[in-house]
Amino acid sequence: MGLAMRLKTCTLVLCAIVLVPAFARATSVRALDFQTLTKNADVIAHGQVVALASQWASDRNGIDTVVTVLVSDYLKGNLGAQIVFRVPGGKIGRLRSVTAGAPAFEEGEDVIVFLAASGPAFPRIVGFNQGVFRVRVDQGSGARVVASPLLAGEVTTPTPLVRGDLSRAAVSLQQFQARVQSALQQEARSARPASSAAVVGKAARRVR
């Protein structure tokens, strides 16, 4: 190999070393229990990933992936027949952007996503990869089961492991749906006293 070729190879290697860290984004992830995850989500949707597209982030400091999911069922909220949201990380040409703790998707996979949606902006995943549950077919029974996500990134809230914790174990799709409904019912029950107190307070002010 000639000197010119060796210099060119060294230059390309150095460029790759410089470029990759420029698009690596760090995150701090707060561990969420299932009740909080459900409460913080405006929408909980079950469906199939049908399209993925990488775009530059609005600040041009990274790349985002735009994910399209064809919805088969809503467990909370409703955004129509399909939903489109963004997640940090993606690839454009030879450039790749990686964000620790952000979920990655594949076309065709079956997922349940917990989304925060407000205004015209793209919805976002609640709790990074904590808000994405993968649905797969159990090889033994043939039933669809929901696998718990693994928390990644820099965890800011320690979370103890409890033996038999359903949030860590794979459960049937029906069990998972029932668990979401139970969390929603608990949220509704906890909201009632506050609403009643507000009504009583208004009535008391009118009496005065």
Domain locations in the chain?
31-191
> Where do runs of H (alpha helix) occur along the chain?
3-22, 34-40, 173-207
Residue the block writes with tokens 């979370």: 159
Q: Which of 53, 50, 43, 111 is nearest to 80 (CA)?
A: 43
Q: At residue 144, what are phi and psi to the nearest 5 degrees?
A: -80, 130
Extract the tokens encoding 12: 């390309």
More confident residue, 184 or 140: 184
H or E element, residue 137: strand 132-137
pLDDT digits (tens, 9 = 90+) for 97-122: 888 888 999 999 999 999 998 777 78
Provide the CATH topology of domain 31-191.
OB fold (Dihydrolipoamide Acetyltransferase, E2P) (2.40.50)
**Mean pLDDT taken over the chain:** 78
As separate numbers, helices (DSSP H) first and strands (DSSP E) second, the chain gives 3, 13
**What pLDDT sits at residue 26?**
53
Q: What is the DSSP letter of 141?
A: T
Question: Which residues lie closer than 8 Å to 44 by C-beta, 6 or more apart?
Answer: 38, 74, 75, 76, 77, 112, 113, 114, 115, 180
30 vs 128: CA distance, rounded Å: 9
Q: Work out the burial of residue 183: count CB atoms within 10 Å of its CB; fewer than 13 is exposed, 13-18 middle, 19 or more buried.
A: buried
Q: How far apart are CA 19 and CA 73, in angstroms?
A: 41
Q: Look at 64 and 152; give whichever has higher pLDDT.
A: 64
Helix, coil or strand: residue 122:
coil
pLDDT tens by residue, 149-174: 865 444 444 444 444 444 557 899 99
The average pLDDT across 66-88 equals 95
Q: What is the pLDDT of residue 120?
A: 72
Both tokens of 19, joined, read 């470029």
Q: What is residue 61's predicted lDDT score, i.e. its pLDDT? A: 76
CA–CA separation, 83 vs 70, rounded Å? Answer: 7
Residue type, 110: D
**What's the pLDDT score for residue 144?**
94
Residue of 13 and 6 predicted with greater confidence: 6
